[in-house]
Structure 1
């Protein structure tokens, strides 16, 4: 059997898409992930594609249960996103999306750090075009900020790889940890930070909430599936059991809730919600037990599907109405009932309702947390679960389709968009009803049972009281209203503070330059006036000088010249 690396079909199809038009291109796009999935299934676990650089042996393809799960996930995500975007007639978006998906596959099957770095950079390069494809000034600036942070991630990764290679004499991509010393320790920290940027760690997360809402309706669906999940895979591969990740993940699960509740742009609400869900995955990787790792990667699988479904439903709203702010929407359930139902399925899944996909993976992480002595982390995750129900489970469908009647009467989106959303909704229900199908693909064997009395009752009570709190706050007019505003968090530092400081510095330099120039011109003018005054009829240069005085002056000048020459 010919061994074909999973990324290769996507790169070849991207080249063919430049030449094809119309239905042949659409057929190619749909068949591609199906053929790729079959190829990956036949490859199974194993490795191939060894190549040498200097004294290092590199590996193009290395598959085990961890990487295979993400490989299957990325093919499914690509299929759904491609079907969703079939109505688009934009070569830039279609080619960039294929290269982007292929780069994600190349990264998760990379057997060494240098190969990982190549696909890591391709992820940044190809994904930014999905932001710029919207062709607006806001999208262009957001894409520049997005690209800058991802280039920083690549530089950190490359520096860490160099130090790691020097310390260990190998570039194999495996467990690293942060406990190493010397150059190895510095390299490991640099790689950890590089992964953290792409995983949207706190303080370096704003590329996600900034760029994703500015992308095209279809581009955002692709973006939500690949970049952050590649980072989750990389952390699970290199840093499982790193306790620092528990605290980072708990922070990620909590802080986006407060921004999502007050945010008006519903796609930005989902971007904050994506960080919230990443927090659960990072906590699981930090705990590092078999159950926790299984829970983290299972939740990554489910998140791609239900978060993709929510982004698709909001993308459909944006396409059909031209609006995405909660303050401008409402009442759409009357003319978009199918989209409304599909959105509610996605909302129920992310909220971890029993019989929906989020329940069978999120509970694994929370069980691992409380089972390993992280009681306060479990409480934080419980609070985060209630928060995500508020901002994604209720706010998104309520303000988009219900709430006040905005007077909008939009039609249902194109059939291909409804089909893609229906596939994602079916997967949300299938995984929630029969989780063993997903559990069989997890990295470790598990006998976990999500549907026991404790898990079900705890989650139902949480959801019930969260819904009750939302209704009470809304009736009392205490719930933050949807206002046409722009909310900044950490990005205020580089979108407001730094530009203002730079403008102030430049203005100060120009003021100092003007003062120095004015003082210099004033001094020159004074000197010119003084010299001119000496040449006036009554000036010193107009006087009659005795010959002896002139001779004495010449002797003095000659003496000074000789003294200087002697000193030199």
Structure 2
């Protein structure tokens, strides 16, 4: 154990606690300085360093530095910096405090060397993210946060039960790769998958994230699902069940995003879609596939945050979020438009962007393992991503018909955050070896081959043609789409309402019945003991003396016997 035991995530956690008490200038310095200090601490620890503390009969490994954990912690710290910059002058102190605690807990997960430490930070993430939702201060955000919290409490219970069963079975709390051979590991897997947005509980992402503030949605998009990807990467590499689960997520996200009208819900469904790619790669489990999942997660955090920053800027300047209310904004919001397009190209894996050099690792891994069907489905899904996130979002929001709105670009700090992530999306695409150099396994892959460039450009070209050819069929509606969340948003609500009605009727009948009985009892008591009752009359003194004498005589007779 090192003398200066300081897990990097605690810098953000403790710094978050200081934000409400700092003056405005110091608060701004903390918002930008804390993530930078955290990033330095992440790279200060060499690989393999271990910080442990005793707890009951176990040793908690608060810091175990692995290449996977350091990769995810690095992008989490970058995200916290850019998110703080984006939120600097718009978000409340409460939101920033919750967001930095949320980010610190996510970094704590990536450094956790045991399941107990992981669980503690896992639950802190759930609390922090719920508070980020509450910070929006709207009725919709409050209702969504309750549903969000319900889902994550379920995931936490499953994870806790799985950890307890695992410790009982093995006697170990080490967080390492596990096989799906017992109920314990299945419960742990279920806990991880709920946070990843896996079926059947995928809808919580699109339900909750768009209800946060513009900056809150940016924070929420980065941490919960990607810590789940990290946990799956470490805990269940090569688990074959993850391949069909991931494929379901891939096409689920595409389908619902194409049906959606709310620009931030489109991008929220896209999170499920993108995480599905990573889950498939983890299920394949080869070094190339695991590198692909890790690299894709790194790149996804950047371009998804960029897209949501662009959408959040539109929402901030127009106070509108429906595609039916927007259009033609490129005329007055050129910076937001350009950055939105960069994010759209990156998520679509356009050449020379981060998506091109990271997603291809996953599809190549499927091809290398002879998984022809998986490879074809991932290829088809790449076209679907271009349809909903690469074209639909920028086309309906910034182009197509002119809505007549002429808002300016957002404040400087929001523009700077978008430029930063646009730069990173392009830099990774142009110089992929920098990212490849910090991946978990050695990388022997060249993304810029003639075959890959031509096939990807063909795919994007035909996807773009299909979008505009079917544009009349993609009419935007004012409704929202429900799937499994129909049960707890509609069915259970109606069930509860019906239960309440019937319970109220039963309660009324029962209350009426007992009220009648009590009234009769009170009436009888009143007749005998009330002011005019038999036992309440005024009796002559002589009569009372006579009755006392009779009673005393009777008692003497009984006593003598």
- TM-fit CA distance, 1:453: 2.0
Which residue of structure 2 lines up, in the alignment, with residue 492 of structure 1?
A: 486
CA distance in 2, matches of 1:43, 1:104: 17
Which residue of structure 2 lines up, in the alignment, with residue 165 of structure 1?
A: 167
CA distance in 2, matches of 1:80, 1:70: 15
Aligned length: 517
1:505 to 483, 499, 502: 499
Which residue of structure 1 lines up, in the alignment, with residue 38 of structure 2?
A: 36
Contact kept in structure 1, 2:91 and 2:215, CA below 8 Å: no
CA distance in 2, matches of 1:517, 1:12: 54
Judged with a 3 Å threshold, the aligned counterparts in structure 2 of structure 1 residues 256 and 89 are, in CA distance, closer, same or farther, namely: closer
Which residue of structure 2 lines up, in the alignment, with residue 118 of structure 1?
A: 120
Contact kept in structure 1, 2:20 and 2:93, CA below 8 Å: yes
Which residue of structure 2 lines up, in the alignment, with residue 76 of structure 1?
A: 78
Which residue of structure 2 lines up, in the alignment, with residue 483 of structure 1?
A: 477
* CA offset digits 1:449-492 (Å, max 9, x no partner): 11112221111111000100111112xx22x2122222212211
- TM-fit CA distance, 1:37: 1.3
* CA offset digits 1:469-526 (Å, max 9, x no partner): 111112xx22x2122222212211110111112222333444566678889999999x
* CA offset digits 1:303-334 (Å, max 9, x no partner): 00000000000000000000011000001100
* CA offset digits 1:147-206 (Å, max 9, x no partner): 11111111111111111111111100001120x2xxxx1111111000011000011122
Which residue of structure 2 lines up, in the alignment, with residue 51 of structure 1?
A: 53
- TM-fit CA distance, 1:141: 0.4
Matched position secondary structure for 1:343: helix
Which residue of structure 2 lines up, in the alignment, with residue 537 of structure 1?
A: none
Matched position secondary structure for 2:241: helix
Contact kept in structure 1, 2:349 and 2:355, CA below 8 Å: yes
- TM-fit CA distance, 1:382: 1.4
Matched position secondary structure for 1:18: helix
Which residue of structure 2 lines up, in the alignment, with residue 533 of structure 1?
A: none
Which residue of structure 1 lines up, in the alignment, with residue 327 of structure 2?
A: 330
CA distance in 1, matches of 2:55, 2:255: 48
Q: State which drifts further: 214-223 or 484-493.
A: 484-493
Matched position secondary structure for 1:59: strand
Contact kept in structure 1, 2:94 and 2:135, CA below 8 Å: yes
1:304 to 301, 304, 316: 301
CA distance in 1, matches of 2:351, 2:307: 18
* CA offset digits 1:398-449 (Å, max 9, x no partner): 1111111111010110111111000100010011111101000100001111
Matched position secondary structure for 1:61: strand
- TM-fit CA distance, 1:391: 0.6
Q: Does 1:418 align with 2:415?
A: yes
Q: State which drifts further: 21-30 or 268-277.
A: 21-30
Matched position secondary structure for 1:49: strand
Q: Does 1:318 align with 2:315?
A: yes
Equivalences for 1:372-391 in 2 at 5 Å? 372-391=369-388
Which residue of structure 2 lines up, in the alignment, with residue 15 of structure 1?
A: 17
Contact kept in structure 2, 1:244 and 1:286, CA below 8 Å: yes
CA distance in 2, matches of 1:451, 1:74: 28
- TM-fit CA distance, 1:373: 2.2
Contact kept in structure 2, 1:3 and 1:43, CA below 8 Å: no
Judged with a 3 Å threshold, the aligned counterparts in structure 2 of structure 1 residues 415 and 508 are, in CA distance, closer, same or farther, namely: same
CA RMSD in angstroms comes to 1.8
CA distance in 1, matches of 2:456, 2:91: 44
Contact kept in structure 1, 2:141 and 2:211, CA below 8 Å: yes
* CA offset digits 1:209-263 (Å, max 9, x no partner): 1110000000111111111110000000000000000110011001121111111
Structure 1 residue runs of 4 or more that deviate by more than 3 Å after TM superposition: 508-525
Judged with a 3 Å threshold, the aligned counterparts in structure 2 of structure 1 residues 518 and 357 are, in CA distance, closer, same or farther, namely: same
Q: State which drifts further: 65-74 or 41-50.
A: 41-50
Q: State which drifts further: 268-277 or 450-459.
A: 450-459
Contact kept in structure 1, 2:266 and 2:388, CA below 8 Å: yes
* CA offset digits 1:18-47 (Å, max 9, x no partner): 211212111111111112211221212123
Contact kept in structure 2, 1:44 and 1:68, CA below 8 Å: no
Contact kept in structure 2, 1:97 and 1:222, CA below 8 Å: yes
Contact kept in structure 1, 2:51 and 2:61, CA below 8 Å: yes
Matched position secondary structure for 1:46: coil
* CA offset digits 1:122-160 (Å, max 9, x no partner): 000011111111111111000011011111111111111
Contact kept in structure 2, 1:50 and 1:57, CA below 8 Å: yes
Q: Does 1:233 align with 2:230?
A: yes
What's the TM-score, normalizing by structure 2? 0.89
CA distance in 1, matches of 2:210, 2:33: 29
1:439 to 404, 421, 436: 436
1:448 to 433, 438, 445: 445
Contact kept in structure 2, 1:295 and 1:365, CA below 8 Å: yes
* CA offset digits 1:317-369 (Å, max 9, x no partner): 00000001100000110000111011000000000001111011111101111
Equivalences for 1:186-201 in 2 at 5 Å? 186-201=183-198
Which residue of structure 2 lines up, in the alignment, with residue 428 of structure 1?
A: 425
* CA offset digits 1:33-71 (Å, max 9, x no partner): 112211221212123321222222211000111111111
* CA offset digits 1:89-135 (Å, max 9, x no partner): 51101111111111001111001000001000000001111111111
CA distance in 2, matches of 1:519, 1:47: 72
CA distance in 1, matches of 2:29, 2:326: 35
Judged with a 3 Å threshold, the aligned counterparts in structure 2 of structure 1 residues 517 and 22 are, in CA distance, closer, same or farther, namely: closer
Which residue of structure 2 lines up, in the alignment, with residue 529 of structure 1?
A: none
